[in-house]
Chain A
Amino acid sequence: MATSRSLRRTNPITLGLATILTIGFLFFIFSTPSDPSPSKKRTKGPDIAANILSPASLPFKKSGGDESERPPPVVRYRMNNVTTTSDPIGNRETILILTPLARFYQGYWDNLLQLSYPHELISLGFIIPKNWEGNTATSQLQERIKKTQSGPQKKRFASITILRQDTEIPLQSQSEAERHKMQNQKARRAAMSKARNSLLFTTIGPTTSWVLWLDSDVVESPPTLIQDLASHNKPVIVPNCYQRYYNNDKKAMDVRPYDYNSWVDSTIAQSLAEKMGDDDILLEGYPEMATYRSLMAYMFEENGDPTKEVQLDGVGGTALLVKADVHRDGAMFPAFAFYHLIETEGFAKMASRLGWTSFGLPNYLVSHHLIGKICSIQN
């Protein structure tokens, strides 16, 4: 083996020093990104789980062939240290974004990717019905996930869980007109509640600080959505959800209110409820059941202060930020008539029974996907 002359001539000590330097240099480069993790671990508990059985909000190590032989270790979660504050990024608080998915919209995924909250603190959870439509949505979603999770590190999410629904789907058609028919509402929303709860209770982990409910048809939101909502530091907070549409009268794109489930209760609604049977529910947005509740959808003011807060008695689930503690205490989406309320509205009621108050931001807008046909939600 003929080594180059220059190499032969240099002092072995110099060579040794150079090697050490190079190794040190390489080590320095490649160890920098993983350096801060140990210090974080001490305060936040385990950030990376040892096996697939770990909480769904944590990524896990791929198991090798011999991995199955070793029993999983004992993991200790210090839940006293899980914080929910108005400065979620500063405190490295993890957020779980949950979406019941019936149809996949590219706009939804793009909107999710443009969120400026650090993606390594975001876990995603999806629940998809087991039918033909759901299968399509699943494959579309998985394709996008694969792209994102193998793409640039900065855009990758901490973990993603996809669940296929086990509960029966009462309505085959998810078309908006059919969906909003009054008699279909209770069964539809009960099934929706079960889906939401299934998703929530299997994915919320011991390290989760916040839970953001985001409908699969939310296509437009400010990139700072999470930070903005969290900065209010409220147990339950909901922005105003609007739908963009083409206004034929104005001959221009316009917005109109979409989510009628965020409201302040009225005495009329309460007296209506008193006369009802135990299993009947009050619904919002139907003329045959006029509740005269003050809807947050109509509290929107042009050029109003986006940080204005309103205390609410019922909330909608289109975009809904909840402190994980509220869910952990037991506040869930009732699939039965709970004080004559169901799903997200019932959730607000249950949260209030547990001592948590809900708030709304009437001037902070989140946009809903526009369905081509004009639906019958406006009355």
Chain B
Amino acid sequence: MLPIHSFSSKGKMERYPYTNGHTGAYPMGGKSFSIHPNRFQPRSHTALRRRRGFLIRLAALASLGFLLLLLIFPSLRYTLLPAVSLGLFSGTPDLQLETVRYYDLSNVQGSARGWEREERILLCAPLRDAAPHLPMFFSHLRNLTYPHKLIDLAFLVGDSKDNTMDLLTELLEGLQDDPDPKQTFGEISIMEKDFGQKVDQDVESRHGFAAQAGRRKSMAQARNWLLSAALRPVHSWVYWRDVDVETAPFTILEDLMRHNKDVIVPNVWRPLPDWLGGEQPYDLNSWQESDTALELAKTLDEDAVIVEGYAEYATWRPHLAYLRDPYGDPDMEMDLDGVGGVSILAKARVFRTGVHFPAFSFERHAETEGFGKMAKRMKYSVVGLPHYTIWHLYEPSVDDIRHMEEMKAELEEERKKEQEEKERIEKIQDQFETSDGQWKADMAVIKEVQREEENAQKAKEDAQKAKAVREESETREAEKLPGKRRSNQPGAAAGPEDNDDGQDDASNELEKPGSG
């Protein structure tokens, strides 16, 4: 530094800058400078600086040692860091982790008024190729009156060939993003698991008798996977719901819960087109055990599965579905042994203690029916509500579709037939006209003959009395002939066709209720 050569006013030294004659040997920032021997003189900075330097070095050494220590023993980082940084530096997420959970299961037994006690429900829905039904299902979810925060949703998506997974994720995220805090649900988990089921999910193969046992077992497997992955110690209730329910009361959870039963199911029907009778029982898996069925079960192989609703196994069981009275008391209960899976509300305790959907033949039943049986076996109450009905979506079966096509064709045919009938009647009319003319002509001929005969008779009245008998028989013959012709002629023209039509109609009439 050479301040002499610098020309800036700040750095420039002046020989006598001070009025008291001191040379400005020390740059004092332009202020007057004086030393008084009797005033306190602060200690020069160097000593302080030296001490501070020492302290800084010490701190640097300590922090270096600390860093080294952290470097060598990584486990120390998690304990030492937050203490040193007063919780400001806790960059690793592990530090904020809680690993211990404590639950008392006697707090989650489930009661009749769960919404008041803040009881959590796990809503389970197994899905496969269910994309078309999802929007409807989500509208049902939104409408549920049970506090949404207390409902945890769990889905199992498996072996889907359509966009179920993407659509589901999108809809669920939409659900959770709802600005209304009352609309958002609790925990939502989607399990993705393919079991490699070969059975198709279309209506026909789903309900074919031969496919039933295998299908029910793989469905049971999916349900068990879903439940075991989603059930938590906080759940008091588990609700199973199919996505293809079309109409259900918004209060269904509360309605079923109010009965305070271990396992409870509503009645499941489905609407039908008018030509099929308007409505029909849908879920035939909710039933009471019968002696016939028990006897039947004894005769069957260990791995056989009795499925309800097929002629192959006539069980004569009282079905919940058939006991419905549209005007009956919706709170009426009926004890059941097997239940259907469309909508089951069960206490979580039932599932916790081991009742599940047997994916094997349990007492000759599988899936939800086996579930009912197993719950009964473990002395849980299993009931159904015959007059409380939810409506399953009507999907026309292949038979129905065929029938509908037939009906359409029939309608077409009928219209065609009507057309034909009209044409035919016109034709007949034409034919009738000609025959009418002929008949008139005949009549004229007859009248002429009669007149001639009368004239002849008048002429020969007195003259030929002996020949009168012969003459009379002749006139009778002549009268008979036109009468015969009259009755025969229209019949010969339209008779056979008419007959055929009549038979056709009759057979159609017979077929309709039979195939329905």
A329 adjacent to B221 (CB under 8 Å): yes
The verdict on A180 contacting chain B, using a C-beta distance below 8 Å, is no
B433-468: contact bitstring with A at CB < 8 Å (1 yes, 0 no)? Answer: 000000000000000000000000000000000000
**Chain A, 171-228, CB within 8 A of any chain B CB:** 193-194, 197-198, 200-206
The verdict on A245 contacting chain B, using a C-beta distance below 8 Å, is no
Interface stretch among B103-111, B260-268, B311-319, B473-481?
Answer: B103-111
Of B67, B74, B96, B220, the residue contacting A62 (CB under 8 A) is: B96
B190 adjacent to A330 (CB under 8 Å): no
Of A30, A149, A163, A350, the residue contacting B77 (CB under 8 A) is: A30
Known contacts A153-B78, A201-B352; decide if A159 and B228 are in contact (CB<8 Å): no
B204-234: contact bitstring with A at CB < 8 Å (1 yes, 0 no)? Answer: 0000000000000000110011011111111
The verdict on A158 contacting chain B, using a C-beta distance below 8 Å, is yes
The verdict on A4 contacting chain B, using a C-beta distance below 8 Å, is yes
Known contacts A130-B104, A162-B103, A194-B354; decide if A327 and B228 are in contact (CB<8 Å): yes
Cβ of B220: which chain A residues have Cβ within 8 Å of it? 330
Interface stretch among A75-83, A282-290, A296-304, A306-314?
Answer: A75-83
B84-106: contact bitstring with A at CB < 8 Å (1 yes, 0 no)? Answer: 00000001111011111111111
Closest to B103 in A: A163
The verdict on A108 contacting chain B, using a C-beta distance below 8 Å, is no
Report the Cα distance A48→B193, complex, angstroms.
21
Of B94, B225, B354, the residue contacting A333 (CB under 8 A) is: B354
Of B101, B109, B225, B356, the residue contacting A52 (CB under 8 A) is: B101
The verdict on A13 contacting chain B, using a C-beta distance below 8 Å, is no
B99 adjacent to A165 (CB under 8 Å): no
Task: Report how many residues on chain B are interfacial, defined by Cβ distance under 8 Å.
Answer: 73
**Chain B, 354-381, CB within 8 A of any chain A CB:** 354, 356-361, 377-378
Of A2, A153, A327, A328, the residue contacting B74 (CB under 8 A) is: A153
Report the Cα distance A2→B94, complex, angstroms.
41
B231 adjacent to A53 (CB under 8 Å): no
Cβ of A354: which chain B residues have Cβ within 8 Å of it? 359-360
Cβ of B56: which chain A residues have Cβ within 8 Å of it? 4
Of A72, A153, A198, A201, the residue contacting B75 (CB under 8 A) is: A153
Of A71, A78, A198, the residue contacting B192 (CB under 8 A) is: A78
A77 adjacent to B189 (CB under 8 Å): yes
Of B169, B173, B358, B377, the residue contacting A330 (CB under 8 A) is: B358
Greatest chain A CB density within 10 A among B152, B359, B361 is at B359
B92 adjacent to A34 (CB under 8 Å): yes
The verdict on B324 contacting chain A, using a C-beta distance below 8 Å, is no
B353 adjacent to A74 (CB under 8 Å): no
Cβ of A150: which chain B residues have Cβ within 8 Å of it? 79
Cβ of B193: which chain A residues have Cβ within 8 Å of it? 79-80
The verdict on B482 contacting chain A, using a C-beta distance below 8 Å, is no
The verdict on B286 contacting chain A, using a C-beta distance below 8 Å, is no
The verdict on A137 contacting chain B, using a C-beta distance below 8 Å, is no
A/B interface sample: 10 pairs, CB < 8 A: A4-B49, A52-B101, A59-B97, A79-B191, A159-B101, A162-B100, A205-B229, A330-B358, A334-B354, A354-B360
* Extra contacts besides A166-B106, A353-B360 (6): CB < 8 Å: A59-B97, A61-B98, A77-B189, A153-B94, A166-B104, A166-B349
Q: What are the nearest 8 A-B pairs in CB distance? A: A71-B184, A197-B354, A166-B105, A53-B187, A332-B354, A206-B229, A79-B193, A353-B360
